[in-house]
Structure 1
Amino acid sequence: MNSWSTLQLGLRIVKNGRRTYRTMTSRRVGAVQKWTSFSNESARNLSTQEQNVVKSPYPDISVPDITLVDFVWDMVDKFPDSTALVCSLTGRKYTYAESRAIARRFAVSLRKAGFKHGDVIAVVLPNIPEYLHVLFGAIEAGMVVTTVNPGFTSDEILKQLRDSGATGIVTISEVYPNVSKAVSTLEAERKRRIPVIITPGLEDKTIPQGTINFQEMTHKGIDTSNLAADDRLSADNVVVLPYSSGTTGFPKGVKLSHRHLVTNCLQVLSEPKLNSPVRASHGCQEVLPALLPFYHIYGLLSLAIGSLYYGQKIITIPKFEPVHFLSSIAKNKATTLYLVPPLIHFIASHPDVKSSYFESVTLINNGAASVGLNDVERLLKKAPHVSFSQGYGLTESSPVACILEKGSTKYTSSGKPIPNTEMKIINMDTNMNLGPGEAGEVCIRGPQVMMGYHNNPQATAETIDSSGWLHTGDMGYYDEESNFYIVDRYKELIKVKGSQVAPAELEDILRSHPGIADAAVIGVSDQRSGEVPKAFIVTKQEELTEDDVKKFVAEKVSQHKHLKGGVEFIAAIPKNPTGKILRRKLKEMYSK
C-alpha cells in the first residue's frame, strides 16, 4: 500500500457569492411562515408555528454589530507579542501585532492603488501566513474577497474571475503561470489591465515581470495613522465570495457578510456543551495546524477567523505530505486538529501513524463530509485521550448548522442545531415536514444563511424559500434527541475527498468534444476518495476510446475532477420529458 505517498487532500470545494436577496420567491408550495420564538420544553424543541421543526437546544446568542476585521483582531491588544502565524515549510512567522500591522499597511496600499469600496479581489493562494494578511487587509480596505483554489487550471480561474467581477488578484510565483493565462484572456475581454500582486511563496523566487510585490505594499515605512474606517463599511456588507455548486449546476458565488461570519463563529465557539478550543490566556495558547485550505469555507471559518479570534497559534501547511503533516503536529505540539474524512482514514489506517504523534492533541473535529464509524473507532484507538466531534453545514450556511456535543459517542451523527438555528427534514415530493427517524431533505434556517448567490436570483430562489429556509439538497434524518444524521445527497454534486465536483461542469466540457453527441456524469463509490466522477457517453464516432475521453477532460480540469470512475459508452442518456438527466437510472445501470 502506498497511501503514505499518494494520499491527496485535494479539498477544493468550489464556492459562491452574491449581494442582498433575502426575501425571495419560494421554489416550494406552501404558506409564508413567520420566524417566531420557540419553547425549550420538548426534547426536540419543536416550533409551535410549524410541526417537526427542530430548534437549537442551546440559548440564543447576541451578535455584536461589528465588522470581521474588528472581530478577528480582538486579541491584538491583549497578546500583541504572541505568535499568530507560522509557515511550516519556510519558517516565516508573525506575531499578532505584526500581522495586524501588515494587514493595515496592505489596506492603505490597496486604496492608494485605486481599489474602491465593494471591488472584488481574488485571492489565489495556498495556506501561507500572508493569506490572512491579504484577506483582512483587503477587507479593511472595504473590498470583497473571492477565494480561489490555487490548484485550479487557468480555465477554472478565468471562470471565477469573470463571474465574480474581480478587479485585482493576489497569488504566489508558483501559481502565477496559470493565473497569468487567465488574466491575459480577461484583460483582452475588458480592454484594461488587471493588477496581479505576488506574495512570498513556498520558495525564494523572482517576482514575475509586470506584477506587484506584496512586500513593497506592506513595508514598515507605510503610514497607517490615517487609515480611517470606511463609513460605508457595515456588518451587513458582503465580505467574502467563496464559490459553491450549491445543490446543482455550475459553481456560483455565495454572498456572505461580516455578520454571517461573525455570527457563525460565535454560534460555534460560545456554547460550552460544544467541542471547541480554549481561548488564549496568559500561559495558554492553543496550536492549530492549518492544512484545510483557507479558500474553502470550513478552513476559512475554523482555521482563520475563529483561530485568530481565539488568539491561537496557526501553523500553515500549504499542501498535504504525510511525513510533513505528522511532523508538524508533533513538532509544534498541536492541540486541535480540523480534519476531513480522507485524513481521518489516513491517520486511522496507516501503520506508520503512531499514537506518539498526537500526545498534545485534545480535540479532533471532522467536517466537509461524514466519516465512517470504523475510521472514528480506529482513530480513537490510536488517540484514546482525544475528544472527537463533527458537524454539518455548507458554504451557503457560513458554513456550520449543527455540531456533535462534547462527550457524545454518536459518532455517525452531526449533532444538534447550533444556537439561533432551526433545522427540519422535508419530503421533497410533498414539501411536508417529517418527524424523527424519517429520511428526507435537510433544511436550515438561521442568521448564518447566506444572502444569496452572486448575480443569480433564480438559483437563490431555488435554494432559499420565502420563509427563509435553506434547502440543502442533502438527505438526512434526526433522532428523538434532536441529533441530525446525514445519510445521502439528493443533490447531484459529487464529493471527491470532501471536494465538490459539479456534474454539469464536466458534462459541458464533454459535450464540447467533436466526437461526443451527449454526456452525463455521476459519482460512483471509491474506497480512497469517497466518490469519483464516472461519465456516460453517446458518441458521434465509433473510434472514440475511454482514454481519449479521459485525456480530453484531464487537460481542462483539476485532478480531483478527472474521470477516475471510468467512461461507459451507451446508446442514449436517460432523461425525463423536460430533458433533465435521470441520474438515478444511470446509477442503477452502473450498479448492475
Structure 2
Amino acid sequence: MADATAENTRKSSAKPAGKAEAKSRSRTAKDASGSAKAKTTAGNPAVKATTAEAGQGAKTARKKPSSTTATRGAAAKAQTSGTAGSRSRAAKDGSKEAAAAASTKPASKRATRSSSKTATARSPAENPAEAKMAASAKAAGARASTGKKAARGTTKSSVESIAAAEARSPAGQKSTRKTRAASTSAKTTSRKTAAKSPAGAMEKPWLTSYPEGIPTEIGAFQHSSLPDMLLEACRTFGDRPAFTCMGKTISFTELEKASRDFAAYLQSKGLQKGARVAVMMPNLLQYPVVMMAVLRAGYVVVNVNPLYTPRELEHQLRDSGAEAIVILENFAKTVQASIGKTDVKHVVVATMGDMLGLKGHVVNLVVRRVKKLVPAWELPGHVPFRQALREGAGARFSPPEVALDDLAFLQYTGGTTGVAKGAMLLHRNVLANVIQSEIWLQTAYLSGRKQPERPVFICVLPLYHIYAMTVNAMTGVKLGAQNILITNPRDLPALVKELGKYEFNVFVGLNTLFNALLNNADFQKLDFKHLDFTLGGGMAVQRSVAERWKKLTGQTISEGYGLSETSPVATINRLDRNEFTGTIGLPLPSTDVTIRDDHGRDVKLGEVGEICIRGPQVMAGYWNQPEETAKAIMPDGFLKTGDMGIMDETGHIRIVDRKKDMILVSGFNVYPNEIEDVLAHHPGVLEVAAVGVPDEHSGEAPKVFVVKKDPALTEKQILDYCRENLTGYKRPKHVEFRSELPKTNVGKILRRELR
C-alpha cells in the first residue's frame, strides 16, 4: 500500500546517471572492498556486515565544522546513500532536505578518497560526551553486524553485495529495489540452513518458526534518516488523517507544514546540529509535530516523563545537556523549580488546546479554571507554542545533512531500578526497528485477513515512551495509519467513550491497561470486528488477562519484548497465532538472541539464563557513561538485558523474571512473575505484586500485595490458593491488602516501592 505509492514517487523522480556516475560507482565499490579488508586486518572482530551495512567503509562524511560530525569516520555515513537524493520534494523545504540528504552520499572519486584523509586529520571532539558517542556509534554499527553471515545463504550474499554497491548512487536505486526483492526470496529459502548453523556459528532455532514469506533479514535501508522516512510518508499520504486527539485531526500534509515551521523556529534560536531538545508533554497533537521538527532540524529528541519531580527533571536536563525544552503548561511549575541549574536557554510552553481550533479555547478554560490542572508558574522569556509556529512560518529553514549514524534520541530508561540513564538511539537504530516492525506486522494477514487500506492505531501509551514512539509515531506514520492519541488513559470512562468513535485495527497496550478495560462494563459493549491484532508489551501479560481479552474481542494478545536500549522491539509472537503462548515470541528479522549464565556463557535450550540481544536496533551506548555501556554490552555485541529467560527448541522465549527482582529462598530462586500470574487467576484478585522481604530462617521470603476485586477476600483465602498452586518455598509468607499499587506513568507496577 504505502510502499507502492512511495515506489512510484521514487521512480518518477529518479534521474539517469551519466558515465561519470557509473565510473564513480565502480570506484566506490572497489574502495568499499578495500576498506572492509583493512578493517578486518586491523583486528576488528565485528566486521561481518549485514546487508544494511555492506560497503560501509566506502562511505565518507563531508568535512563540517561541527565537532560531533567531525569525529565520525567514513563508516558512519554508510547508509546515507540510497534513495533520498532521488525522491521528489513537493515543497521548497522538502527539496532542500532532499538535497541535504543527497549531499551526504559519496558519489565521486573525490569523496571516496577523502575518507582516509579525514580519518587521519580529524581533531578530537570539543564535547567529550559527543566523542564517546561517536566512538560508541561506530562500535555499535560493527556489533550489530557480527555473526550475520552465518544466517545467509550463498545466493543471498552475492545478490546483496551487488545491491549494496548499486545503491550508492541515485542511478543504482532502481536496480537496488529489484535486487532487494530477489534478496528477500533468498532469505526466506535459506531459513532452514541458517537455523542449523555450521560448527562454531550461532544456532538460530527461531528461524524454523518463521512463517513463509517473512524475510529473516531486513535488507538495505531505503531511507537516509528518520526525517527522510517521515517526509516521504507525508508526501505519499497527503490529506489522509495522521493524528487525531480530542476530536481534532491533522493530516500528513499539515504535519509536514507544522513540523517545518517549528524546525525553522528552533534554528532561528541559533541551536546547532546535534543540540538536545527536551520534550515534556502527554499525547497531544503537538507531540508528533515537535518530534518531527526536532529530527528534521538535525537535533536530538530527549523525551521526558511529564510526571517527573523537579529533582528527576533536573537530573535528566543536566545529564543530557538539553538547550531547549518544549512543555505543556500543566507541568511548567516543575520546569520552573529545576531549570536554574541546567543549560536550558529556550523554553516553549504549549497549552492543551493549542491545536484544537476553536474548541481549544473551551478546553483551556476547563483545564485551567474548572479542573484547576495548571498550577501557577513563572518562566521569564518563555515563548508560547503557537507564537513559535508563527515565527517559524516566516523564518528560513535550512535542512541539515542528517545521516543514519547521527544521534536521534536520548531515551532515558525508566529509572525503576536506579538512576535513569540516557540510551543513545541513532537514526539507524530506530529506522531498523521500524523496518523490522513493518515486516512483522505482515504476519497478521497471512491467514487471509484483508489488510486495511487506511489502518487505525489506538495510541494509549504515551508517545514519550519508547514503545509507543516506535510502534505508533514511527511505524504508524510510515504505514499511513491514523493514530488516535489518548491524552489521559487513566480516565477509563473517557478512554472507552473515545474508542467507541472509531473502527480501530490495532490496539497497543500492556497488562494493567488490558485488565482495567476488561473490568469496565462499557468496554465490554464495544464492537471489535475491525480489530486485526493486539500488541502487549512493557510488562508480562498474565494468562488470565489474555484469555479474557480473547473471549471478549476475539483477538489474541501478541506479546512482545524490548527495552529502551533496543529501540525497543526485539522479540514478538506471530500475529496470526490463535492462542496465547505465554512467551515473548521470536527474535525479529536481523536480531540475534542468546541465553547466558553469569559468566557470559551460552546455556542449553530449556535452561534459565540472562536474555542477551544483538541487532541493528541495539543502542550505541549510554550517554556520558562509558563504564555502564561496557557493563551492558558484551565484546561480541550482545546487550545484557537483566531479564532472566528460557528459549525452547522452536526459538520461543519465555521471561522468568527480572534478574534484580528474583527472590532467594534458602538457596532456591523464586520469580515474582510466577507468583503474580498464579494469584491473578484468583477470581477475587484485581491486581497483585510480589516482592522478597528479609526472613531470619530462609534469608528471604515472598510477600504479596493485593488489590481486591472481591471486598470479602481474606488473607487465608490467598494463602490457601497459593498452597494449591505453588510449591512450598514459592508460597508467600506475608499478604498485605492495598487499595492500589504504585505504578509508573505507563502502568508498570513498581515493585521497588513495595519492598
Q: Which TM-score applies when normalising by structure 1?
A: 0.74
Answering whether residue 192 of structure 2 is matched by residue 78 of structure 1, we say no
Answering whether residue 526 of structure 2 is matched by residue 356 of structure 1, we say yes
Alpha carbons 2:206, 2:652 under 8 Å: kept = no
Task: For 2:653 and 2:206, locate their aligned partners in 1 and report how far apart those are by CA, in whole Å.
Answer: 12
Name the residue aligned to 2:351.
200
Task: For 1:314 and 1:216, locate their aligned partners in 2 and report how far apart those are by CA, in whole Å.
Answer: 26
1:530-573 per-residue CA deviation (whole Å, 9 max, x = no partner) reads 5488898xxxxxxxxxxxxxxxxx9xx989899888778xxxxx
Partner AA of 1:215 in structure 2: R
Answering whether residue 457 of structure 2 is matched by residue 306 of structure 1, we say no
Aligned residue runs from structure 1 range 14-163, under 5 A: 19-20=133-134, 21-22=136-137, 35-38=148-151, 40-41=191-192, 44-46=195-197, 48-54=199-205, 56=207, 57=210, 58-62=215-219, 63-88=221-246, 91-163=247-319
Task: For 1:268 and 1:306, locate their aligned partners in 2 and report how far apart those are by CA, in whole Å.
Answer: 7
The Cα of 1:73 is off from its aligned counterpart by 2.9
- Distance 1:296-1:93 versus aligned 2 partners, 3 A rule: same
Task: For 1:43 and 1:413, locate their aligned partners in 2 and report how far apart those are by CA, in whole Å.
Answer: 23
Return structure 1 stretches of 4+ with deviation > 6 angstroms: 532-536, 557-568
The Cα of 1:434 is off from its aligned counterpart by 1.9
Name the residue aligned to 1:380.
550
SS of the aligned residue for 2:526 comes to helix
1:240-264 per-residue CA deviation (whole Å, 9 max, x = no partner) reads 1110168964210000011111110
Name the residue aligned to 1:370.
540
Alpha carbons 2:150, 2:197 under 8 Å: kept = no
Answering whether residue 352 of structure 2 is matched by residue 212 of structure 1, we say no
Task: For 1:142 and 1:149, locate their aligned partners in 2 and report how far apart those are by CA, in whole Å.
Answer: 22
SS of the aligned residue for 1:37 comes to helix
SS of the aligned residue for 1:444 comes to strand
Alpha carbons 2:424, 2:621 under 8 Å: kept = yes
Structure 2 alignment gaps of length 5 or more? 1-128, 153-190, 354-362, 369-376, 664-671, 681-685, 695-740
Task: For 1:219 and 1:23, locate their aligned partners in 2 and report how far apart those are by CA, in whole Å.
Answer: 39
Partner AA of 2:278 in structure 1: A
User: Which moves more between the two structures, 329-338 or 104-113?
Assistant: 329-338
Partner AA of 1:37 in structure 2: A
Alpha carbons 2:605, 2:646 under 8 Å: kept = yes
SS of the aligned residue for 1:378 comes to helix
Task: For 1:266 and 1:250, locate their aligned partners in 2 and report how far apart those are by CA, in whole Å.
Answer: 31
SS of the aligned residue for 1:441 comes to strand
Aligned length: 488
The Cα of 1:92 is off from its aligned counterpart by 3.2
Name the residue aligned to 2:616.
447
- Distance 1:43-1:73 versus aligned 2 partners, 3 A rule: same
The Cα of 1:371 is off from its aligned counterpart by 0.5
Q: Which TM-score applies when normalising by structure 2?
A: 0.59
The Cα of 1:370 is off from its aligned counterpart by 1.6
SS of the aligned residue for 1:97 comes to helix
Name the residue aligned to 2:564.
395
Name the residue aligned to 1:457.
626
Task: For 2:389 and 2:745, locate their aligned partners in 1 and report how far apart those are by CA, in whole Å.
Answer: 32
Partner AA of 1:441 in structure 2: E
Alpha carbons 2:561, 2:571 under 8 Å: kept = yes
- Distance 1:338-1:33 versus aligned 2 partners, 3 A rule: closer
The Cα of 1:442 is off from its aligned counterpart by 0.6
Of the two structures, which has the highest relative contact order with CA contacts closer than 8 Å and spacing of 6 or more? Answer: 1
SS of the aligned residue for 2:443 comes to coil
Task: For 1:140 and 1:331, locate their aligned partners in 2 and report how far apart those are by CA, in whole Å.
Answer: 33
The Cα of 1:276 is off from its aligned counterpart by 8.2
Task: For 1:561 and 1:335, locate their aligned partners in 2 and report how far apart those are by CA, in whole Å.
Answer: 25
The Cα of 1:227 is off from its aligned counterpart by 2.8
Alpha carbons 1:67, 1:258 under 8 Å: kept = yes
- Distance 1:326-1:239 versus aligned 2 partners, 3 A rule: same
Name the residue aligned to 1:266.
435
Task: For 2:198 and 2:438, locate their aligned partners in 1 and report how far apart those are by CA, in whole Å.
Answer: 25
Aligned residue runs from structure 1 range 236-251, under 5 A: 236-244=405-413, 249-251=418-420
Structure 1 alignment gaps of length 5 or more? 1-15, 26-31, 495-521, 537-553, 569-592
Which is greater in Rg?
2
Aligned residue runs from structure 1 range 333-352, under 5 A: 333-352=503-522
Alpha carbons 1:535, 1:565 under 8 Å: kept = no
- Distance 1:201-1:485 versus aligned 2 partners, 3 A rule: same
Aligned residue runs from structure 1 range 553-572, under 5 A: none
SS of the aligned residue for 1:229 comes to coil
Instruction: Pick the structure with more strand per residue.
Output: 1
- Distance 1:328-1:559 versus aligned 2 partners, 3 A rule: closer
Which of 449, 455, 460 is equivalent to 1:291?
Answer: 460
| Coordinate RMSD, CA, aligned | 3.6
SS of the aligned residue for 1:131 comes to helix
Alpha carbons 1:173, 1:208 under 8 Å: kept = no
Task: For 2:278 and 2:440, locate their aligned partners in 1 and report how far apart those are by CA, in whole Å.
Answer: 34
The Cα of 1:362 is off from its aligned counterpart by 2.2
Alpha carbons 1:365, 1:388 under 8 Å: kept = yes
Answering whether residue 183 of structure 2 is matched by residue 183 of structure 1, we say no
Partner AA of 1:240 in structure 2: F
Alpha carbons 1:426, 1:442 under 8 Å: kept = yes
